[in-house]
Amino acid sequence: MNKKKEVLLSVKNLQKHFKVGRNAVLKAVDDVSFDIYKGETLGMVGESGCGKTTCGRTCIGLYSKTGGQVTFAGMDVHNVPPEDQKEFKRRVQMVFQDPYSSLDPRMTVAKIIGEGIDIHHIAKSKQERTEMIYEYLELVGLNREHANRFVHEFSGGQRQRIGIARALAVKPEFIVLDEPISALDVSIQAQVVNLLIDLQRKFGLTYLFVAHDLSMVKHISDRVAVLYLGTLVELTTSEELYSNPLHPYTQALLSAIPIPDPDVEQERDAHKIRLTGEVPSPINTPPGCKFQGRCKHATARCTQEMPPLRDVGGGHFVACHLCDK
């Protein structure tokens, strides 16, 4: 990446709360701040239910925010003027976790990919539109014969490729990839991730890659953000996170990554960090650090005072009292 980094998406103190029941509030995203630079991939990881998908959707305006601010290329995402809405929706796209539920089963692949081309008037003629559909199919590893088929005729990996082609067809700048490989066979996952990397290089795309598979996140991401119960606990480069995790939660996540060697795995087993205690409810989060109930290093300070996310050097951000200098 260039030394002069241009911020494409800026998230400041973002909150997304949901009312559940009469008086209860679920804090799905709670005071999260980060920047995504043009041309990079920011991986976002954490356990199921930690707020990754909600954060991604709120960042591009699919969900309204409860608090904070998100700006895309200097534009307030949640207050885009009506005359700019269409252009904003072209520039920002999303690839969903389940390709079968996000693709219309009544439409042919050509119609699915061509819909965005039509809405944004990207093609000047019917022939150009058809050629563009073929081009995007071939770009994602399918062929033109697939254009007139329906979604149910494809495998999971092929469906996800169709979803990627649909997003690419409107020539976006930023794509939120919401667990795009979690519904796929392991053998297909690497193919889709490598395809995404190739497309990023070809079109200069910027990604927010939401996932829980830490080995895949390492492969595709420039930087990684770790979420726990809707709060950002660590943010740094991919290399730094995997070689020097500072937050106890990140350390536990990384120690759980399996290694495909039985002897090494057996040797590692004794050193794995096993978290005790239950994940607190996001409706009634404890005071202080949200991770304190499962952290063996927790002190009295951790139970009372929420640790701020701060730079401990070299752009390595961590929210943990134990990392005080």
Q: What is the pLDDT of residue 264?
A: 57
Q: What is the pLDDT of residue 168?
A: 94
Given a cut of 50, whether residue 1 has pLDDT beyond it is no
Amino acid at 239: E
Q: What is the pLDDT of residue 269?
A: 54
Integer Cα distance of 27 and 68 in angstroms: 13
Q: Which residues contact 55 (CB under 8 A, 6 or more apart)?
A: 14, 16, 28, 29, 32, 44, 210, 227, 230
Integer Cα distance of 309 and 229 in angstroms: 15
List the beta bridge partners of residue 7.
37
Q: What is the pLDDT of residue 2?
A: 43
Given a cut of 50, whether residue 283 has pLDDT beyond it is yes
Given a cut of 60, whether residue 261 has pLDDT beyond it is no
Cβ atoms of residues 297 and 250 within 8 Å: no
Q: What domains sit in the chain, N to C, each tagged with a CATH number?
A: 7-323 (3.40.50.300)
For the ranges 155-164, 280-289, 305-314, which has the lowest average pLDDT? 280-289
Please tell me the number of Cα atoms within 13 Å of 39 on its side-chain side: 9
pLDDT, mean of residues 237-257? 90
For the ranges 43-47, 123-127, 259-263, 302-306, which has the lowest average pLDDT? 259-263
Given a cut of 80, whether residue 259 has pLDDT beyond it is no
